[in-house]
Amino acid sequence: MTELILQALFSGVLIGGVYALVALGLALAFGAMRIINLAHGELVLLAAYMAYLVESRTGLDPYFAIPLALVVVGAASWALFLLVDKIQDHRELNSLILTFAIGIILTNAILLIFASDMRTTSSPALQDAVSLGDVFAMRGEIIAFVLSVVLMGVLWWWLKSSWYGRAVRAVSSNRNAARLMGINPARIETVSFLVAGALAAFAGVALYTMSVVQPATGHALTVKAFIITVLAGVGSIPGVFLGAVLLGVTEALTVTLASSALQELAGMVLFLLVLFLLPNGLFGARARRG
C-alpha cells in the first residue's frame, strides 16, 4: 500500500506540472482582460492534435510539432482576441458566452477532422519507463514536467523583468492608471492572449506525449485550469504550480485508493472546499505575484 501511495503522489506531481502550464494561459488572459477564456482547453487540445498530426504523418518526435502548434494556436488565439475585443457591453458575461461557443466549435471541428478515437504518442523513447527508486514514470511524463517547470520560470521572469511583463501586471492591476502611464491596454491584451496561446501550444504537445487525448479533453482541461486558478488565487505563478500539483495528487490518490470514476468528482470537491474556506486562494491576496 505504501508503494502504491508513493507512486500515486509521484504521478500526481508529474501530471500537476502540465496542469499548471494549462492553467497559466487561462490565468494570464484573465489577469489582463478580466475574462475567463472557456475555449482555452480547446486551444491546448488543438496543439495536442498538431503533435499527433506531425508524428503520424512524418514519424518525427512529437516535440518537433511545437513550431506548427505555436503558429496554429497563436493564430487561433489572435482571432479569438479580435472577436472578444469587439464586445463593448457586459464584456465579462458576453465574452464568457462567446468563448464557450468557440470552444464547442473547435471541439466539433477536431471531431470531424480527427474522429473520436483516443490519441497518444507512439514514440518508444517517450513511452519507456524510467525508475527513480521506488517509483517510476514514462520518459514522456518526466520531459513534460521539466518543460512545464522551465516555461513557468521563463514566464515568471518575463512578468517581473521585461517591459511587456510589467505592462501586463499594470493593466491587470489598474487599466485606467496604466493608460495614464502611456501603456496601450489593447496592445497589452493582445500580447497576453498570444503568450497564453503559446503556453497552450507547449502544454498541448506535452500532454500528448504523456497522456491520451480525445475531442472531449478540451472542456475537461478548461475546468481543471479554472479550478487551479481558484486554488492559487488569481495572479500567483507559484500558487498556480502548487495548486496544480495539489489537484494532480488528489486525482491520482482518488484513482489509486478509490475509483477512476471519482477522479473528476474529487477535483470538484477540492475546488468547492477552497472556494468556501479560502476564497482568496491558498495563499491569499497578499501573497500574489505576477
Structural domain range at position 237: 2-287
In this prediction the pTM is 0.89
Q: Which amino acid is at 98?
A: L
Q: Report pLDDT for 283.
A: 61
How do residues 228-276 score in pLDDT, each as one tens digit?
A: 887 776 567 888 888 899 999 998 888 888 877 788 888 888 888 877 8
Count of structural domains, the chain: 1
Whichever domain contains 214, its CATH number is: 1.10.3470
Cβ-in-10-Å burial (0-12, 13-18, 19+) of 129 comes to exposed
Between CA 241 and CA 284 the distance in angstroms is 15
Q: Which residue, among 209, 198, 84, 70, has the nearest Cα to 139 in the 3D structure?
A: 209
Percent of the chain at pLDDT > 90 equals 33
Between CA 41 and CA 63 the distance in angstroms is 19
Are 51 and 62 in contact by the 8 Å Cβ rule? The answer is: yes
How do residues 91-147 score in pLDDT, each as one tens digit?
A: 778 888 899 999 999 999 999 998 888 898 988 888 888 887 778 888 889 999 999
Q: Which residue, among 108, 148, 143, has the nearest Cα to 123 in the 3D structure?
A: 143
Three-state SS at 280: coil
How do residues 21-68 score in pLDDT, each as one tens digit?
A: 999 888 887 766 677 788 999 999 999 999 999 999 998 999 999 999
Between CA 95 and CA 47 the distance in angstroms is 23
Q: What is the mean pLDDT of residues 166-189?
A: 81
